[in-house]
Chains A and B, each alone.
Chain A
Amino acid sequence: ARLELLGDILAEKPQEKKAINNALVLSGLPIVDSARIERLQVFIRDKFLDKHGEVVKFSMPTDENGNSLGFALCCFQTDQQALDALTDIQGASLDKMHTLNVFKFSDFNRLADADDEWKPPEKAPFVDRGDLRSWLREDRCHDQFGVLHTAGSVATIYWHWPGDPQPVDSATRNNWTESRLHWSPLGTYLATYHTKGIALWGGEKFEQINRFQHKNVQIIDFSPCERYLVTFSPSVTKEDPHAIKMFEVDTGKMKRSFLHEQAAKWPVFKWSHKGEFFARVQTGKALQVFETPSFSLLDKKSISVQDVQDLSWSPTDNILAYWIAETDNQPARVILMTMPEKREVATKMLFNVADCRMHWHPQGNYLCVRVNRYTKKKLDADNTPKYINIYTNFEVFRMREKNIPVEKIEVTDAVSCFTWEPHGSKFAMVQGIASKGLSVVFYQVNAHDIEKVKVLEKRNVNTISWSPIGQHVVLAGLRSANGGLEFIDTSDMKTTANQEHFGATDIEWDPTGRYVVTTVSFWHVKVDNASHVYSSHGTLLYKLNKLERICQFAWRPRPPTLLSDEQIKNIKKNMKTYSRRFEKEDLQSSTRASKELLEKRARLKTEYEKWRAKLLEKFRGEKQKRLELRGVDTDELDSNAQDFVEETLEFPIKVERIRIDKLPQVAE
């Protein structure tokens, strides 16, 4: 039999264990007498050990009188279980005076065998990564964007010089990524996918910063602060059953890994805004909130919440929102809780709830909970609830006001594409069903009420894309909806432009809110792959269609501005003085750009003329042969003028029919 086929069977062959990696030493335990030692053992196992796996061996040594010595040894069934337990219980407190100090048994051996002489550790060589933020200091504050093209086999990073994007030096690479490009949230790194894992690139020359091993990684997520990277791969093995891994970006070390049992939407773990916490829901049972950098559960335990369905962090504060499904005796609830204090700051009871979805305002000013409610509920044969007559309520939590008041809006039509206006107080959604005609409806959250400000009817729209700085929005019909684009200025709700990018599959604003790019991706449509760049008001600026088979267009994100709101207000007030200076610079640079273009063209022209000159030489050399073959000189159209015949052709310009007997009489 062939060796490859036996591989997994061979792996199961009983092996003599050389290292004892499944054993832990627990120290820092209280010293108890023989009467209470049994209870202590049970307590330790129950509270700390059993939940991490099967404890195959447990021993608490005693002195000659039967008193415990303050430590215990335990062996788990697998090395991974021991590792999990170690991470989890290290540092846990038993009572006021005793804290668990846990370490691996193998470490114990290593320390015991250590040299008596201390040798200073080798200094790791300093890797100068250069300035990872160099792109932000470009002269004219141009943004960068990445394009994955040629059916995904080539990726290029460009400087967005409007009308004439320039590829960044050494940033056009073949097979840079095996599936897609992914920028980190603040734009510092570019992540690329490979069979072995993820690679991060950055700096002026996009050198490799770090590599993170995770076989067949399928999807990733960054913490908002970019300190941590979370990866998911469906390929799990017996030795490595953890589908989700978390890495520290700077060091490349894996900090923690998790099993992934239930079907869920990505990201499974949601991050708080500063990366201090990450949390996931154990549907129906509990919230698990972890803290960094320890990567262990906050207060060493999950938050038990019966029937909890989903959670969501505020994008600007350490507030966790979660909702609980309704049960036979209790209505559904939405609860907002601060972390790490775990203090409830708002609760809302909801009745007749089929489903909830949470939408945070990007600056954390509001939380909108979309509640699907029903008028009647039936139970199916297998006890799954079936809801009749669904209508939608939107519960808006005003986060910045005292006691977080909640306001309700009811919508009877079917609803989709709910979006908040960034840096503003409006929200928009698509209402209605396609067969009867869809409408886009805008609402404004005022001091005392929520007002419906505009209804745009008969719009074939499936995507509402707001500018990241607010005020401007694009209503788009992507993919099968023919690529209609309506640009609206929401300060006066006027449409500034109507455009069309037929077959567009994606739309993305640049991080400054100046440009919108629509793309027809090769991943969905095989022809006409191009990206179109529009201004925020909808003027088509230029098309990126020289690249073949564009798959993905992605703007490089920017870190948030360091200016305070006051400073921004000041700049807007004094816009005229600033704009004068920039207009002058713009004029200079446009002539500068055309100078480069002129030089390039002049160069191409000389090259071409040289090439043609060589060919013409050959042509002239063959003239004699040509005369012999045809008997006449046919090199030019008028080469043998003597053979020309002059011909006069007459074409009637106008034809008129006159009846002779109707001719006007000539006066005698």
Chain B
Amino acid sequence: QLNQIMKPICLLGHMRSITQVRFNRDGDLIFTCAKDPHPSIWFALNGERLGSLVGHNGAVWCVDCRWDSKKVLTGSADNSAKLWDTETGKCVLSVDTNSAVRSCGFDFAGTSAMLTTDKTMGYKCTILLYDIRQDPAGQPACQMLVPESKITSAVWGPLSRFLITGHENGDLCQMDVRAQKVIRTEKHHKGAINDIRMYKDGTMFVTASKDHTARLIDSYELQLFKTYKTERPVNSADISPLRPHVLLGGGQEAQDVTTSGAHVGKFDAKFFHTVYEEEFARVKGHFGPINSVGFTPDGRGFVTGGEDGFVRLHSFDNDYFDFEFE
């Protein structure tokens, strides 16, 4: 069992719950967004803050960094998505949507951005694709309505040929937005899919669901391969790029909050063995449910963002790399 993890660096930049934490491809920058309007960018090396992105007027639900680290994309509850220059923090493009932007992401080449919006009165859940090379890219290049269960999480598939979307009812779909069709639907989960994270090569991904499980699924045929079970809803999960480990973060549902919440640091980040589906370690520290997790791109650490507004950046010590299951 892992006994010692080096003391984490605590990033205190947000006054409200964290919604997402992301790394850039090189792993030297951390992007955090929360229910406050100012996402922050930090140096992963020592936790020093580079700055914050000012411009949104509401909670920021999602953030993504382009593969070359030069641009940042954010989606907010203020019905807009914004494109920023990473170095200067300047907003170079802003598009308005009909409802809150729930997920966003650059495609593989970094020339298109996808957004998904929430279902609200009068507006269905929509997927929007923008060509960001155009300036101004006011109008979406194409869009697709999602009639049934709304999208709760979305990522680009391999080579960005289609989107992989997770829905409120547990459905998982491959969407070809340009051809306006649903390529495939699978129902592996019984509850809303809160997060989807791609493995470093894009061939498989892990889903985190309200049904207390996270699952490992292949990107090409959406075939379920592994299931990781916990006792609480899973808000976020990620796959280590270095070792056969999966990281899960979650918490209790709002209506189940009872005195058990008073237990200090009861909200643990859980580590599972990817192949054996067995939990082998827990890292405590958060005072509320964990909303977003991520391994560093080199697999030598991980970051967690919680409902308590804290972002904790951990580095693994030598025990972690030597640790083997018999």
Measuring CB to CB, which residues of chain A are less than 8 angstroms from any residue of chain B?
482, 502-503, 526-530, 545-546, 548, 594, 597-598, 601, 604-605, 608, 611, 615-616, 618-619, 622, 625-626, 629-630, 634-635, 637, 649, 651
17 contacts across the A-B interface (CB closer than 8 A): A482-B259, A502-B260, A527-B231, A527-B252, A528-B232, A528-B260, A545-B231, A601-B276, A605-B275, A615-B201, A615-B203, A616-B203, A618-B158, A622-B159, A626-B108, A629-B160, A637-B25
Contact B67 A634 (CB under 8 A): yes
User: 8 additional contacts, CB 8 Å, given A502-B263, A604-B276, A629-B159?
Assistant: A527-B253, A527-B256, A528-B232, A529-B231, A622-B159, A630-B109, A637-B26, A651-B46
In whole angstroms, what is the CA distance A526 to B258 when docked? 11
Contact A630 B67 (CB under 8 A): yes
Contact A625 B231 (CB under 8 A): no
Residue with the highest number of chain A CB atoms closer than 10 Å, among B26, B203, B212: B203
Instruction: Report chain B residues within 8 Å CB of A622.
Output: 158-159
Q: Is B49 at the interface (CB under 8 A from chain A)?
A: no
In whole angstroms, what is the CA distance A626 to B110 when docked? 12
CB contacts under 8 Å to A, within B203-224, are 203-204, 212, 218-220
Instruction: Report chain A residues within 8 Å CB of B67.
Output: 630, 634
Q: Given that A530-B231, A611-B225 are known contacts, is A618 also in contact with B275, CB under 8 Å in the complex?
A: no
Instruction: Report chain A residues within 8 Å CB of B323.
Output: none
Contact A637 B220 (CB under 8 A): no
Contact A608 B275 (CB under 8 A): yes
Q: Is B135 at the interface (CB under 8 A from chain A)?
A: no
Q: Given that A634-B25, A651-B46 are known contacts, is A618 also in contact with B256, CB under 8 Å in the complex?
A: no
Instruction: Report chain B residues within 8 Å CB of A615.
Output: 201, 203-204, 218-220
Instruction: Report chain A residues within 8 Å CB of B45.
Output: 649
Q: Is B322 at the interface (CB under 8 A from chain A)?
A: no
In whole angstroms, what is the CA distance A601 to B278 when docked? 11
- Closest-by-CB residue of B relative to A502 is B260
The 3 closest A-B pairs by CB, nearest first: A615-B203, A629-B109, A608-B275
In whole angstroms, what is the CA distance A62 to B15 when docked? 104
- Interface residue count on the B side (C-beta < 8 Å): 38
Measuring CB to CB, which residues of chain B are less than 8 angstroms from any residue of chain A?
25-27, 45-46, 67, 108-110, 158-160, 201-204, 212, 218-220, 225-226, 229, 231-232, 252-253, 256, 259-260, 263, 274-276, 297-298, 325-326
In whole angstroms, what is the CA distance A618 to B252 when docked? 39
- Report the minimum CB–CB distance from B161 to chain A (whole Å): 9
Contact B202 A619 (CB under 8 A): yes
Contact A548 B220 (CB under 8 A): no
Instruction: Report chain B residues within 8 Å CB of A626.
Output: 108, 159
In whole angstroms, what is the CA distance A240 to B19 when docked? 62
In whole angstroms, what is the CA distance A611 to B219 when docked? 12
Contact of B159 among A594, A625, A634 (CB under 8 A): A625
- Report the minimum CB–CB distance from B18 to chain A (whole Å): 22
Instruction: Report chain A residues within 8 Å CB of B110.
Output: 630
Instruction: Report chain A residues within 8 Å CB of B46.
Output: 651
- Report the minimum CB–CB distance from B189 to chain A (whole Å): 13
Contact B159 A598 (CB under 8 A): no
- Report the minimum CB–CB distance from A157 to chain B (whole Å): 20
Contact A619 B201 (CB under 8 A): yes
Contact of B203 among A604, A618, A630 (CB under 8 A): A618
In whole angstroms, what is the CA distance A615 to B217 when docked? 11
In whole angstroms, what is the CA distance A608 to B216 when docked? 11
- Report the minimum CB–CB distance from B266 to chain A (whole Å): 9
- Report the minimum CB–CB distance from A492 to chain B (whole Å): 33
In whole angstroms, what is the CA distance A370 to B226 when docked? 58
Contact B203 A619 (CB under 8 A): yes
Contact A601 B325 (CB under 8 A): yes
Contact A629 B108 (CB under 8 A): yes
Instruction: Report chain B residues within 8 Å CB of A528.
Output: 231-232, 260
Contact B297 A637 (CB under 8 A): yes
Instruction: Report chain A residues within 8 Å CB of B158.
Output: 618-619, 622
Contact A546 B229 (CB under 8 A): yes
- Report the minimum CB–CB distance from A149 to chain B (whole Å): 12
- Closest-by-CB residue of B relative to A547 is B229
Instruction: Report chain A residues within 8 Å CB of B231.
Output: 527-530, 545
- Closest-by-CB residue of A relative to B244 is A608
Residue with the highest number of chain A CB atoms closer than 10 Å, among B201, B204, B276: B201
In whole angstroms, what is the CA distance A626 to B161 when docked? 12
Contact B229 A604 (CB under 8 A): no
Residue with the highest number of chain B CB atoms closer than 10 Å, among A615, A630, A634: A615
Contact A548 B275 (CB under 8 A): no
Instruction: Report chain A residues within 8 Å CB of B108.
Output: 626, 629-630
In whole angstroms, what is the CA distance A657 to B274 when docked? 51
In whole angstroms, what is the CA distance A608 to B46 when docked? 37
- Closest-by-CB residue of B relative to A629 is B109
In whole angstroms, what is the CA distance A619 to B198 when docked? 13
Instruction: Report chain B residues within 8 Å CB of A629.
Output: 108-109, 159-160
In whole angstroms, what is the CA distance A359 to B203 when docked? 67
- Closest-by-CB residue of B relative to A605 is B275
In whole angstroms, what is the CA distance A155 to B45 when docked? 51
Contact A503 B260 (CB under 8 A): yes
In whole angstroms, what is the CA distance A618 to B160 when docked? 14
Instruction: Report chain A residues within 8 Å CB of B202.
Output: 619
In whole angstroms, what is the CA distance A594 to B297 when docked? 34
- Report the minimum CB–CB distance from B300 to chain A (whole Å): 11
Contact A598 B212 (CB under 8 A): no
Contact A526 B220 (CB under 8 A): no
Instruction: Report chain B residues within 8 Å CB of A503.
Output: 260
- Closest-by-CB residue of B relative to A601 is B276
Contact A548 B25 (CB under 8 A): no
Contact B220 A618 (CB under 8 A): yes
In whole angstroms, what is the CA distance A597 to B26 when docked? 39
Instruction: Report chain B residues within 8 Å CB of A594.
Output: 326
